[in-house]
Amino acid sequence: MPRELRKTGQGLTHHCYTRCRGKKNLLQGKYGKKYFIEAVLMCQEKYDFELIAAEVVSNHIHLVIKTLADKETISLIMQYIKSRIAEKYNRAMMETGPFWNERFNSKIVEEAEDPEQYLFWLLWYIGFNPVRKGQSRDPRNNDIGFINCYLIENYEAPVKITLHPFFYKLGSVFEECVKKFIYYEDAYRKRIAVIY
C-alpha cells in the first residue's frame, strides 16, 4: 500500500519528531546533542523557516517548525536536519547505513481542535521530555533549553528560536505572556505527577 502523502502546509506550524534506528540511544551524550545543534544551525543558515522549539533526547528529536509561504517545505527542512545528524554520527563512529528508524512524523498545530491550547501544552510536553527520560531535572536546564526563550526575554538558546505568534496573544507585554504561559507548566506538572 502506498504511503500517504505528507501535508506540507506552507505557512503553518509543524510538530515533527523522529526516532533513531531500533530506538537505540544514538543521541545520548554530549556528541549526540552537539550533532543535533550543529545540524539545526546549518539548516537555519541554508533555509528560511522559524524554529519554535527544539529538543533532543537519547533516541529521538522533537522540532516545532513554522514554515514560510513560498519557501522550503517541512519535508526538505527535516530531510536536511536528519541527513546532517546521520552524516556527522556515521563519520565520527566510522559507521555506514541508516541512522533513523523511519520517516519523521508530523502534526500541523493549526489543525488541532484548539491550536493555541495545543501549542502551549506541546511546548511543555517537549520541554519535559528529557525530564521524563531522566536526562534533566527541569526543562530550563535541558541542553537546548528552548523553553527559556519563552520565559526570559532576549534569552539566547544554542539554536535560534522564534517565539510563536500564539505566545504573544497571551498578553500585551512579555511578562504577562510568561505569567499565563506558566499556567500550562503547572498543569503539565500536575498531570505527570499523576502518571508517575
Q: For residue 97, is it within any domain?
A: yes
Tell me the CATH number at 172. 3.30.70.1290
Q: Residue 76 has which C-alpha cell?
A: 526538505
Going by DSSP bridges, is the β-strand pair 105-108/13-19 parallel, antiparallel, or unpaired?
antiparallel
Q: C-alpha angle with apex 40: 36 to 44, nearest 5 degrees?
A: 170
The neighbour count for residue 123, using CB atoms within 10 Å, is: 27
Report the C-alpha gap between 22 and 59 in whole angstroms. Answer: 9
Residue 6 lies in a domain: no
Is 158 a domain residue?
yes
User: Total domain count for the chain?
Assistant: 1
Give dist(CA 155, CA 66) in Å, integer: 20
- Give a yes or no: residue 119 inside a domain: yes
* pTM of this prediction exceeds 0.85: yes
pLDDT at 1: 46
What is the distance between the alpha carbons of residues 162 and 66, in angstroms, rounded to a whole number? 9
SS3 sequence of 139-176:
HHHCCCCHHHHHCCCCCCCCCCCCCCHHHHCCCCCHHH
Question: How would you write the pLDDT of the chain (196 residues) with one tens digit per residue?
Answer: 445 555 667 999 999 999 999 889 898 888 889 999 999 999 999 999 999 999 999 999 999 999 999 999 999 999 999 999 999 999 988 988 889 988 899 999 999 999 999 999 999 999 999 988 888 899 999 988 999 999 999 999 999 999 999 999 999 999 999 999 999 999 888 876 554 4
Q: State the residue range of the domain holding 110.
A: 13-195
In a domain, residue 2? The reply is no
Write down the pLDDT at residue 3.
52
Sign of the CA dihedral running 158, 160, 163, 164: negative
Q: How far apart are CA 29 and CA 27, in angstroms?
A: 6
